[in-house]
Structure 1
């Protein structure tokens, strides 16, 4: 019998076009040798050009999905993405309150296409999730919406400030941890419009590597390289912000 793969529970919305959300999570976890489970929070009708419709599932159904996975298969790490409402965010946080495994929280607020995916009430509950998370992974506008670096420092949490949305030829990602020196990665920007699902992919990869027992710094480093390889392997699908090439990464 082969060694048991790390069991990753992805809690996020479904992307009908397959580039982001639960679909990107499953592809990433699978390509990195993990076993992917899901608790779907919302169904979206979207493609590379934008989100056309969103329908959140009931908090009870989302809790039931989580319970079904945790009680039977078990969980070695959790990735949280799009939540859809404050009630959903609260039930997810409640279910994860005492779960003894790494939790990676991607505070999804705006899709790559610019569509808003979290309202003000939902963002307020993010503070509870950030307190529970091993790592929170905001991009530039998400970090600003969460109060900026100063506010995050007051919370004494670990977070990865992603720089892909900033301007310039270099992309800088900064890992900030309480009472630790920041770890900064700076690499040349990969110039492409096919960036749909980069945040989902990165957070799922980090969760998978943490489940394998890697340190936070090593998990982030390996996950960044996975995302960069997937960007380089993008299949060029769609007329807007196309998906990454998860399946081409080896």
Structure 2
């Protein structure tokens, strides 16, 4: 019998348009040679133009999905995404407590189009309950500002942003600098001591829906394979850069990145 691939569990919301959320996570995990599993936290009505509606699932539904997967199949890494409410954030943090695998927390606050995906009263729970469980936290610049109040204007501001996020307890943080306007696409990975600057060419492609989900899912997939955090982040950066370059038009707005841009290279 074939040895099963590394297992990765995503705890996130559904994107009905298929570009972000659970759908992006599972595509990424497959592309990188892992077996993706899911705990659905919310359902969105979403397309290339934005989010038209969002409905969170009951906390008990989230809890039972998680226990069903972890207690039988097990997992070698977990990635969290859209958690929507304080109750769901606290429920997921409780489920992660004591789980002996790497956890990647993508503190999703708003969609690519600026639609809110996290209730304002949930921010405290993200800071105090969820981020301390993270092996790696992967906020973008808007999420850094939302969580910490630190606003990043230039690359030189990234270490200050990272320090503010690390103060909430994750072991590492990967500050995604893709929203900076000039130069390369640069991210900063740090644990407060070691700094790893991840640089890639900035592609002139507006079809970038799902980049944040994809990067966090890729980090989780690489961690499930046994890579170190710096190795996993570097490999994830290379994968998402290629996916952005291959992003395609879909619908009338912002299309998705291409999760299958390098077929046959998973693993």
Bucket of the pairwise TM-score, normalised by the shorter protein: over 0.9
- What aligned pairs does 1:202-241 form with structure 2 within 5 A after superposition? 202-241=215-254
User: Which position in structure 1 is the counterpart of 2:189?
Assistant: 175
- What aligned pairs does 1:108-127 form with structure 2 within 5 A after superposition? 108-127=108-127
Post-superposition offset of 1:171: 1.3
Q: Distance in 2 between matches of 1:104 and 1:165?
A: 21
Does the aligned pair in 1 maintain the 2:134–2:169 contact within 8 Å?
no
Query: Using a 3 Å threshold, how does the CA distance of structure 1 residues 31 and 153 change in structure 2: closer, same or farther?
Result: closer
Q: Distance in 2 between matches of 1:9 and 1:154?
A: 26
Post-superposition offset of 1:165: 1.2
Q: Distance in 1 between matches of 2:240 and 2:118?
A: 24
- What aligned pairs does 1:89-238 form with structure 2 within 5 A after superposition? 89-127=89-127, 128-147=129-148, 148=150, 149=161, 150-157=163-170, 158-178=172-192, 180-238=193-251
Higher mean alpha-carbon deviation, 140-149 vs 78-87, is at 140-149
- What aligned pairs does 1:27-66 form with structure 2 within 5 A after superposition? 27-66=27-66
Structure 1: tracts of 5 or more residues without a match: none
Query: Using a 3 Å threshold, how does the CA distance of structure 1 residues 102 and 153 change in structure 2: closer, same or farther?
Result: closer
Does the aligned pair in 2 maintain the 1:156–1:177 contact within 8 Å?
no
Query: Using a 3 Å threshold, how does the CA distance of structure 1 residues 62 and 153 change in structure 2: closer, same or farther?
Result: closer
Q: Distance in 1 between matches of 2:45 and 2:80?
A: 20
Q: Describe the SS at the equivalent of 1:210.
A: helix
User: Normalising to structure 2: TM-score of the pair?
Assistant: 0.90
Q: Distance in 2 between matches of 1:39 and 1:58?
A: 12
Does the aligned pair in 2 maintain the 1:21–1:197 contact within 8 Å?
yes
Post-superposition offset of 1:172: 1.1
- What aligned pairs does 1:2-21 form with structure 2 within 5 A after superposition? 2-21=2-21
Q: Distance in 1 between matches of 2:257 and 2:4?
A: 27
Does the aligned pair in 1 maintain the 2:200–2:241 contact within 8 Å?
no
Compute the RMSD of aligned alpha carbons.
Answer: 1.2
Higher mean alpha-carbon deviation, 229-238 vs 124-133, is at 229-238
Q: Distance in 1 between matches of 2:167 and 2:84?
A: 26
Post-superposition offset of 1:248: 2.5
User: Which position in structure 2 is the counterpart of 1:67?
Assistant: 67
Structure 2: tracts of 5 or more residues without a match: 151-160
Does the aligned pair in 1 maintain the 2:77–2:102 contact within 8 Å?
yes
Higher mean alpha-carbon deviation, 12-21 vs 234-243, is at 234-243
Higher mean alpha-carbon deviation, 114-123 vs 61-70, is at 114-123
User: Which position in structure 1 is the counterpart of 2:258?
Assistant: 245
Q: Distance in 2 between matches of 1:84 and 1:125?
A: 11
Does the aligned pair in 2 maintain the 1:26–1:36 contact within 8 Å?
yes
Does the aligned pair in 2 maintain the 1:233–1:249 contact within 8 Å?
no
Does the aligned pair in 1 maintain the 2:188–2:198 contact within 8 Å?
yes
Post-superposition offset of 1:153: 4.1
Does the aligned pair in 1 maintain the 2:198–2:237 contact within 8 Å?
no
